[in-house]
Every structure is written in structure tokens, then in C-alpha cells.
Structure 1
Amino acid sequence: MTDRFKPLGETVGPLFAQLEQRVAAHVELTEKIREALTGPEKDHVVSASCRGDTLVVLADSAAWCPQIRYAQAQLLEVLNRATPNPGEKQVTKVKVRVGRKTPGPTQR
């Protein structure tokens, strides 16, 4: 008789580990973007991600998008300076979009 059922840790465990690494990288990039911004706009960055050679920054309001976009050169410099491997793709564009902050446990 074959063992049709595998322990959940064997099948889903590695997937959760990969997801955890991706989330950690996403959070780290968002923090790096906030640190690179010097004005009050840094408090309005919801998240940041890289898609190919484009940095996508989500702001909590359309009013803050131009200020973040204005800092594009500064953001690109910080990100490309921090690129550890010369073979890695460098970020060349910045897109700023409006995103929503997810409510915390006390805000629901």
C-alpha cells in the first residue's frame, strides 16, 4: 500500500519558507525606501517592490505621489548603490501609485 498522504510540513513547509523570504525582502525594500526619503513623504510610503527594472512605490494618498516621484533620482541612487552583485538588474524607473494601508489589529 502506498502512502498517499504526506505530512503537511513536507509539502507546504518549503513553500511557506519561500513566502517568508519574499515578504522579508519586500519589507526590507520598503524600509530602505523610507530611509532614502528625507521629507515628510517617507511617512506616507505604504510599500515598495521591484518589477524588472522598475521600482513601484505605493503611497497612502495621491497628494504624496508627486513628492515621492520628485525624489526619484535619490531613490534610484540609493537602490543601485546597494545592489550587491554587478550582474543584478539595476533599477532605472520609478512608478508611484496610490495604495491603501491595511488596517492593523486595533483599527478593525
Structure 2
Amino acid sequence: MTDRFKPLGETVGPLFAELEQRVAAHVELTERIRSALTGPEKDHVLSASCRGDTLVVLADSAAWCPQIRYAQAQLLAQLNGASEMQVTKVKVRVGRKPRDLT
């Protein structure tokens, strides 16, 4: 009789490791975007991600989107100069702040 059931760590473990790496890369990119911005708009960046050659930045309100877009050249220069990532466009969207679960 063969064992049809595999241990949970054997099947789900690699998936969690991959998810952890993706989250770490997402957080690292968001911090790089915040550090590239010099004005008060850096405090209003919720997150950042790359979709192909497009950098997508989420701001906490529509009022800060133009300020972040204004810094597009600065963001592109810093990202393309400091890494292997080649970004050609920046899109700024309004995102939602995470709810406080306490």
C-alpha cells in the first residue's frame, strides 16, 4: 500500500517560502520608493510594485498623486541606476490604508 498523503510541510512549505520572498521584495521596493522621494509625499506612499516595465505606486489620497507623479523622473533615475530593474513608466493610484485590526 502506498502512502497517498504527504506531510503538509512538504507540499505547502515551498509555497509559503515563495510568498515570503515576494512580500519581502514588495516591501523593499516600497522602501526604495519612499527613500527616493525627498518631500512630504514620501509619507503618503502606501506601497509600490512593478508590472512589467511600469512602476505602480499607491498613495493614501488623490491629493498626493500629482506630487508623486511630479517626481517621476527622479524615481526612474534612482530605480534604473541602482538595480537591474528597468522601469520606463510610473503610474500613481489611490490605495486604501490597511485597517487596524486591534
Answer yes or no: same fold by TM over 0.5: yes
Give the CA RMSD over aligned residues.
1.0
Provide the TM-score with structure 1 as the length reference. 0.91
- Tell me, in whole angstroms, the C-alpha distance in 2 between the residues paired with 1:46 and 1:17: 24
More helix by share: 2
Partner residue in 2 for 1:76: 76
- Residue number in structure 1 paired with 2:45: 45
Give how far 1:2 is off. Answer: 1.3
Q: How does 1:67-106 map to 2 (within 5 A)?
A: 67-84=67-84, 90-106=86-102
- How much identity, in percent, do the aligned residues show? 86
Name the residue aligned to 1:26. 26
State the aligned residue count.
102
Whole-angstrom CA distance in 1 between matches of 2:32 and 2:83:
12
**Which amino acid in 2 is paired with 1:50?**
C
Task: Report runs of 4+ in structure 1 exceeding 2 Å deviation.
Answer: none
Gaps of 5+ in 1: none
* TM-score relative to the length of structure 2: 0.96
Q: Does 1:56 align with 2:52?
A: no
CA distance in 2, matches of 1:34, 1:104: 22
Partners of 1:15 and 1:90 in 2: CA distance: 27
Equivalents in 1 of 2:10, 2:74: separation in Å?
44
Structure 1 residue 93: deviation in Å?
0.3
